[in-house]
Every structure is written in structure tokens, then in C-alpha cells.
Structure 1
Amino acid sequence: MTGFPADLTMALTGVTKYQLANWRRTGLLVPEISTERPPLYSFRDLVALRTVAKLRASTSLQRIRRAFSNLGEFDLTDHPSEYRFAVHGKTIAVWTDEGFMDLVQEPGQYELYTLETIYRPFVNMRGEQVVDFERPRPRLEVNARRLGGWPTIEGSRVPFDTVADALTGDMAIRAEDLRRFYPGVTPVAAQDALDLAQEVASRRSA
């Protein structure tokens, strides 16, 4: 896979098309792979987008922008997905080898947003449930070491969209018959793949 298109990125991060466009334009989060149409996001970008969405659920976008822009001031120049952030009241901090570094105001008591926190389901600023990043559906997996993090049927390298495409269109086959072509794909897993594909399609048309 060469990168994550905007529709799948939205489905896996809970970020809207407007937010993606706005954050690209303002430089908050520019896709690593391609900024041209269509923009293509890396796996690291998806983690960073989930981080921003999680932070945005409890603080303002202005503070997030200030925190991200201040990373460079302290020579923290890695991709945003590499950092662990924390929020308390009106401030955002980042974890460094020396401990928490305040990026907005005065330091205080912080809740650390670990990767585990970012990966688990959460409710975004619009009150919408954001899917579990590693399990966007019960029988689908996202593994950074498998197909670059593209969602696959659990325990396999079969992409979710390959299964969904097989179930739809003029040459559609029944979910029960998929095992002839993909032995590890159960009808229930196929339904999960189709469900995610339908959500991605709805994001595309939103």
C-alpha cells in the first residue's frame, strides 16, 4: 500500500474532511506521503491525527497548534506521532527524557496520553465514537508491520477492501464462498470488512 487515502484516514481517526484540509493548509499536520490530490497519509500520520483528535476532545485547537509549533522551539523535531502528550486545564505538555515539558502554560498535574490511550476507542469533540485503531471492527486488524498498517482480516494479510470488493459489484460472490479464495476469511469477518468499506465510502461522499 502506498498510503492511506482521506476517506480511510477519516474512518480510522474520527477526523472530518474539513479538519484534514484545514490542518494540511495551516501546517498542523501535513501528510508525509503526498500533499497533492488526492492527499495520502502515512501510518505515522494516522497516529498523529488520532492524537490531535484525542487532545481536541478536551482542549482548544489554538492550544494544540501552539503546543505543536513549540515542539521545534525545544528541538523536538521528530514526527508528532513519536511524542506522548498530556493535558491539564489550559495547558498541554509533552513527555521528554527529562520528564514533562510544558508547551503552553504552567506545568501541573497531567494525564499522559500513551500510545495505548491513543489507540483505544474514544469520544471526539463532536461526541462521536472513534473506532479502536488496532481493531476498527471486531475481526479486522491494523498492524504497522503488516501491509504498512492497512486494515486486514484478523490473522491474515488479506486487505479489508479486497474482501469488500469481492462481496459487491457485478461479479459479487457470497460471503460463505469467500473461503474458496481466502481460506482464513469467515462470513462474519467478511461482514466486518464490508461494514468498514461502507463507512469509508460514506466518509468519501460526506
Structure 2
Amino acid sequence: MAYTAQMAAALSGATRRQLSHWRRDTGAGAVLVPEISAESPRVLYSFRDLLALRACVFLRQDVSLQKIRKAINNLRDLGESAQLSQYTIVSDGDTVLLVEGGEATDLVRKPGQRVLVVLRDVFEPFAVREGVVVPRLFRPRERLEVDPQTRGGVPVVSGTRVPYDLVAGLVRDGVAPENIKDYYPAVSAEAARDAADFALYMDSYSQAERGTAVA
């Protein structure tokens, strides 16, 4: 399974410029280097990368990128060397915390100290910038789903293997949602509308990235 930088950005809430900055800023410590391919023009992220990116973007609502980098470095210093997506990392608004077995460990202010934390769901929709709300990860629209075992994790119509963009392309070409079933019998008119709407989100997300500062 592999995600292009555009899809990884749209499903995580990062901008493509942020992704580039985060994978290349080796001086301050790269936030996340793609597992599949880190070299342009074919930068490709794994599903695990996508989970880690979404967590980082979620954290950026509360804490600075510097604190996130420090937390990642301290996590490694504590002997944790697995891919970032394997950990539950959250913020309480002031520091970054590693959650394990109902307990949380401070990774910034007092690395290793146990603290109490209230978990927030990184998989649910959340706003990242004015006018931009990142959709629910595993169900970006009511009738679309993301399954890393289906079509490489690209959003598909729920209960099928039909990628959203094939359906959205037909709608854009003038096929009425009610007639999509002539091409894909398992795709309802409502699912076709969801596919077209998600395609619009992808387009608008790319437009919203323009002029967004790297952080």
C-alpha cells in the first residue's frame, strides 16, 4: 500500500510543503521520513506513515513543532525504536505524552515522568486551518472507507473495491449519480455523490495549501 504526497496530506491534515519539510529537515531532526520512498518525484507514504502524520498534525493544534521533535527524540532516548505509528502520542496542551496501558509518560518537560491524560480521538474529523477540516480517517465520507488491505488504502466505495476517483471521474464527465450503477452496479447514487464530494475535497485541499506557511 502506498500513498502519494497529495493523498497523505489530505488524509492527515498536513500540507505537502510541511511533508517535504518534515522529511528533509535533518538539521533539527526529521519528523517523519516515508517508509516506502522519500525521494522526489515519487515520494510515497505507507499506511503507518499516514497514521503517524495524522498524529503529528493533531498534536500541532496544541504544541509547537519543536516540542514534537523533542518528544520524538526523547522517545528514542527512552529506548523506543518502533515506527512512530506504533505509539499512542497525545498532548495535554502544554507537553507531549506517550500513552501506554492507561498511563501517560511526559516526553518533553520531564521525560519519563508518569502523568494523567484525557485522550482525544485522532481518527475523528478535526480542523487544521481556516476552512479545512480533515475527514474521519477510516470513513472519509459516509459511504466511503479507507482500508489498508483494499486497493492499497485508497478510499473506496464502502463494501466494494471501487476507488472513489473512478466514480468521481464519471460524475465529472457528466454521468448522473443515479446512472453510475450502469458502470459499477454495486455503487449507489448516494455513494457516487460521496465520491464526487471527496474528490472536491481533494481539489479544494490542494488549493487551500497554496500560501500556507511551513511549520
User: Please, what TM-score do these two structures have when normalized by structure 2?
Assistant: 0.83
Map 1:107-118 to 2 at 5 A.
Answer: 107=113, 108-113=115-120, 117-118=121-122
CA displacement 1:94-150 (0-9 Å, x = unmatched): 12469432211134332335xxx1111122265742211112112111122322321
2:197 partner amino acid:
D
State the aligned residue count: 200
Equivalent-residue separation in structure 2 for 1:45 and 1:109 (angstroms): 27
User: How far apart are 1:191 and its partner, in Å?
Assistant: 1.7
Equivalent position of 1:64 in the other structure: 68
User: How far apart are 1:52 and its partner, in Å?
Assistant: 0.5
Equivalent position of 1:8 in the other structure: 7
Structure with the bigger RCO (C-alpha within 8 Å, sep 6+) is 1
User: How far apart are 1:76 and its partner, in Å?
Assistant: 0.9
Equivalent position of 2:213 in the other structure: none
Q: Percent identity?
A: 38
| Structure number having the greater helix percentage | 1
Equivalent-residue separation in structure 2 for 1:154 and 1:111 (angstroms): 32
2:46 partner amino acid:
S
Aligned with 2:42: secondary structure?
coil
Contact 1:7 1:201 in 2 (8 A): no
Equivalent position of 2:106 in the other structure: 102
Aligned with 2:119: secondary structure?
strand
Unaligned ranges ≥5, structure 2: 211-215
Equivalent position of 1:48 in the other structure: 52
CA displacement 1:159-202 (0-9 Å, x = unmatched): 11121222334xx5332222122111112211211222232234
Equivalent-residue separation in structure 1 for 2:101 and 2:144 (angstroms): 35
**1:82–1:139 CA distance, 2 compared to 1 (3 A):** same
Equivalent position of 1:159 in the other structure: 163
**1:42–1:118 CA distance, 2 compared to 1 (3 A):** same
Equivalent-residue separation in structure 2 for 1:50 and 1:126 (angstroms): 17
Equivalent-residue separation in structure 2 for 1:201 and 1:130 (angstroms): 13
TM-align CA RMSD: 2.2
**1:69–1:179 CA distance, 2 compared to 1 (3 A):** same
Equivalent position of 2:35 in the other structure: 32
Equivalent-residue separation in structure 1 for 2:144 and 2:3 (angstroms): 16
Unaligned ranges ≥5, structure 1: none
Equivalent-residue separation in structure 2 for 1:85 and 1:202 (angstroms): 29
Which region of structure 1 is more displaced relative to structure 2, 25-34 or 88-97? 88-97
Aligned with 2:66: secondary structure?
helix
User: Please, what TM-score do these two structures have when normalized by structure 1?
Assistant: 0.86
Contact 1:63 1:91 in 2 (8 A): yes
Contact 1:84 1:112 in 2 (8 A): no
Which region of structure 1 is more displaced relative to structure 2, 103-112 or 181-190? 103-112
